[in-house]
Every structure is written in C-alpha cells, then in structure tokens.
Amino acid sequence: MRKTVEPMTGGSIWKRMTFFALPLLLGNLFQQLYNTVDSLIVGNFLGSSALAAVSSSGSLIFMLIGFLSGISSGAGVIVSRYFGAEDRKNVHLAVHTTVAFGLVAGVLMTAAGVLLSPQILTWMGTPESVMPESVAYLQIYFLGSLGFVMYNIFVGILQAIGDSRHPLYYLMVSSVVNLILDILFIKYFHTGVGGAALATVISQIFSAALCFIQLLRTDEICRLQIKEIRFDQRMLGQIIRIGLPSGVQNSIIAFANVVVQSYINSFGEMAMAGYGAYSKIEGFAFLPINSFTMAMTTFVGQNLGAGQIERTKKGARFGIWVTVVMAELIGFAVFLSARGLIAAFDSTPEVIRFGVGKARTAALFYCLLAYSHSVASILRGAGKVFVPMIIMMSSWCAFRVAFLAVSVPMTHNVQMIYVVYPLTWGISSLAFFFYYKRVGWLKQTL
C-alpha cells in the first residue's frame, strides 16, 4: 500500500510538529475567514446594527457546535492512537463509527439550532433593534448544520493520521467561494445578514464534500467506504468516553461566553459591534497557537500509540515553549495595532473605543491562554480528558460567570467584562501548571 502521509512517530520532533502545524495554521486561517469576511462585509455595507446582529451570534453558534467538535476531537484521538499502532481494523471501525455519529448529530443539531435560536437570543438580552437580523442569521446558519458537523468530522479524521494538507486545500477553495457569495448576496442581491449566513453555509458544505471525496479516494487505512458506515458499539463507547468531556467542556464554556455576551449586550449596539470586532481579531491572532496545540494532540496520540514515551515527553515540552512565546509576541502586536484593526471592521469612534478597550486589556496575557491550551492538548492526546474539562469549566465558566454576576451590576463598567478573561486564563494556567509538573501525569499514565 502506498503511503501518502508520514506518521509523526519518527524523524525530527520539531520538523514533524512544525510542518504538520503549518498547513493547520493556513487551514484555520481560511476557516476563520468565513465569519470574519461576513463581519467585514456586513459592517461596511450594512452598518453597525447589522454587525452587532452577526457578532452576537458567535457564542451561541459555538455553544451548539462546540459539543460535537469535542466529540470529533475524541474520535481524532482514538484514530491517531490506532494509526500510530498500525492497527488497521480499529482505525476502520473508528472512522466509520465517527462518520455515522456525525450524520445523526448533524440532523439533530439542525432541528435544535433552528428551533432554539429565537428563545436563546431573548435570554441573552439581545436588543430588539437587532433581534430580527440575529434570528435570521442564526436560523439560516443552523439549517446548514449537517455540512458543518461533517466537515469537522472529516477533517478530524484526516488530521488524526497526520494529513493537514488536504483540508487546507479545500478550505482555500471554499473561502474564495464564501467571499464571492458574500459580495453577491449582500452588495448586489441585497439579502441582508441572511445572505451572509447562506454564503457561509454553502461554502462549508462545499468543503465538507471535498473532504468526503478525499476520504473515499485515499490510500491510507482511514479510507471511507459508504456501505461500512455504521455504529460499532465498542468503538462508539471509546469515542464518547474520550470526546464527551471535551464536548461538555466546549458547550459549558461557550454557555459562559453566551452569558458574557448578554452582559455586553446590556451596553448597547456599539459595545456589541466593538466587542464582536475584537473577537474576530483575537480569533485570527490565536490561530498559530491553536494550530500548534492541534499538532501536539496528534503528536502525543500517535507516539503513545507507538509506545514512544520519551519522544512524547520531548514533543510536549517543545510544544509548550513554542506556543507560549509565540502567543506573547502576537499579543504585543495586537496591543500596539488594536485601533487600526478595529477600524477595519467599523470606523465608528464608539465602536473603536469598545474594541480597543478589550484588546488593550487582554492581548498582553495571551501567553496564559496559550499555556492552558497547550497542556490541555497534551492531556487530551494522552487520553486524560477529564482534567482539562474540570479545570476549564471551573475557571473559564463557573468563576467567570460568578465574577461578572457580582462586578458588572455593582460597577456597570464594561471593563469588568474585559478583565475577566485574563483573570480566568491565569487561574487555569496555575491549575494546569501544578497538575502537569507536580502530579507527574505522564509517568502515571505511561
């Protein structure tokens, strides 16, 4: 059988991780472009109210999609372990069980997203002035849920075996499609924010279809056979055991961010637009770190599957140092250029003020966020998924919501919303540091 993907179990550690992470970075860049292009075009062609409508939807979208993304990440860990061990039978079972799960979950998410969007937006305190556009954007977005879910499933499988190139190629093509459709729908067809959502849905389904074709044609042991798509009870149990904690963690943290968004909403449309514009910038800024942490999870999973303990430890140490240093350099750049970056989305002075306020509060603390993500990715690759779940849920969810519940009503100062992020990043980093260094998880696990 001809190999098209080199496993991460041999060769130079830094080269394997870096060259795996680079296509991930470019792929994540194009993925981020989907919603960012929506915001740029909406903000410039439709105004601040429409930008606020789109911006307020991000946390809710991630809350519903984050759960299934966590499950698919668990599937990726299982696939990478068996791939590293060259266990052909179990890779086959894991791939086809994961695809079956995605098909069922995508249908359920479509129904839940369309039905629940209006009520959840109401609970979030979305201003009446942007409510109709927010509902339209979300409901159209969730009508394409199956495409989003299956894209994440397919990409997770490809990345688990070390193939980060093909997802990149497909995202490049679909991002161009998204840009063209955004301009057509909004500028020329005058479809409003619903057109932005429809453009994203169409382009995402297109990229999912390309990934699907690649899995049908690949020469690797993860090759997909349509007639074999079914649930294997034992494999489904493994996938859920690894993926469920990550899914629950993603959803609960996203719920906390929905709560945060509700506080932002209370400061009005300009705050919503400025905060939303910064969120897009932060999403781009953190892409290199996210890409490297994804590479770390695959590296740890494959090397543990191959029984290479010392190589796993060396790769983990290298990954932590790279992500932390890179995050701080990026944070410094965002801090200095925040005003111009926010203005690219909306030149309204009030919008810029809110966006710059968040950037100047959070950007210099990106190193803490990077450390938390790095250690969490290593633990997930090793199959210890409950520890990241507990640490992140307690700090990024429980403490974050409690802090805002006390500080915002007391001060009615938007700065309290800004400062809660670096504060909770610091708490999670301390918890991960003591667990990682003092408990000796790697020795105990291996």
CA distance 73 to 62: 15
Query: What are the CA-CA distances from residue 338 to residues 79, 104, 333 (Å)?
Result: 40, 42, 8
Give the separation between CA 351 and CA 338, rounded to whole angstroms.
12
d(CA 42, CA 435) in angstroms, rounded, equals 44
What distance in Å separates the CA atoms of residue 142 and residue 120, rounded to the nearest whole number?
14
Torsion of CA 330, 18, 388, 30, to 10 degrees: 60
Amino acid letter, residue 282? E
- Using 50 as the pLDDT threshold, list the residues of the chain that sit under it: 1-3, 441, 443-446
- Residue 197 included in any domain: yes
Rounded CA gap, 255 and 401, in Å? 10
DSSP 364: G
Confidence (pLDDT) at 4: 53
- Give me the residue label for tokens 């169409």: 202
Contact 334, 363 (CB under 8 A): yes
Give the CB-side neighbour count of residue 27, counting CA atoms within 13 A.
Answer: 28
Residue 3, domain member (yes or no)? no
Give the per-residue pLDDT at 446. 42
Does residue 4 belong to any structural domain of this protein? no
Report pLDDT for 442. Answer: 53
User: Is 6 among the domain residues?
Assistant: no
Contacts for 98 with CB less than 8 Å, ≥ 6 apart: 72, 75, 79, 153, 156, 157, 239
CA angle 172, 59, 75 (to 5 degrees): 60
Answering whether pTM is above 0.85, one says no
Tokens matching residue 136: 């339209």
* 187 in a structural domain: yes
Per the listing, tokens 């098209």 go with 4
Q: Is residue 2 part of a domain?
A: no
Q: What is the pLDDT of residue 63?
A: 67
Sign of the CA dihedral 351, 354, 358, 361?
Answer: positive
Q: 286-299, pLDDT tens digit by residue?
A: 888 988 888 898 88
Q: For residue 74, what are the domain limits?
A: 13-445
What is the SS3 string spanning 54-111? HHCCHHHHHHHHHHHHHHHHHHHHHHHHHHHCCCHHHHHHHHHHHHHHHHHHHHHHHH
- 328: in domain: yes
CB 296 within 8 A of CB 24: no
Selection from 35, 33, 28 nearest residue 196 by Cα? 35
Domains of the chain: total: 1
Instruction: Yes or no: say if 90 and 311 are a contact pair by the CB < 8 Å rule.
Output: no
Are the C-beta atoms of 117 and 195 separated by less than 8 Å? Answer: no
Query: 218 to each of 17, 78, 166, 259, how far by Cα in Å?
Result: 22, 19, 11, 43
Answer whether residue 17 is part of any domain.
yes
Token digits for 442?
Answer: 């790697």
- The span from the CA of 438 to the CA of 424, in Å, is 21
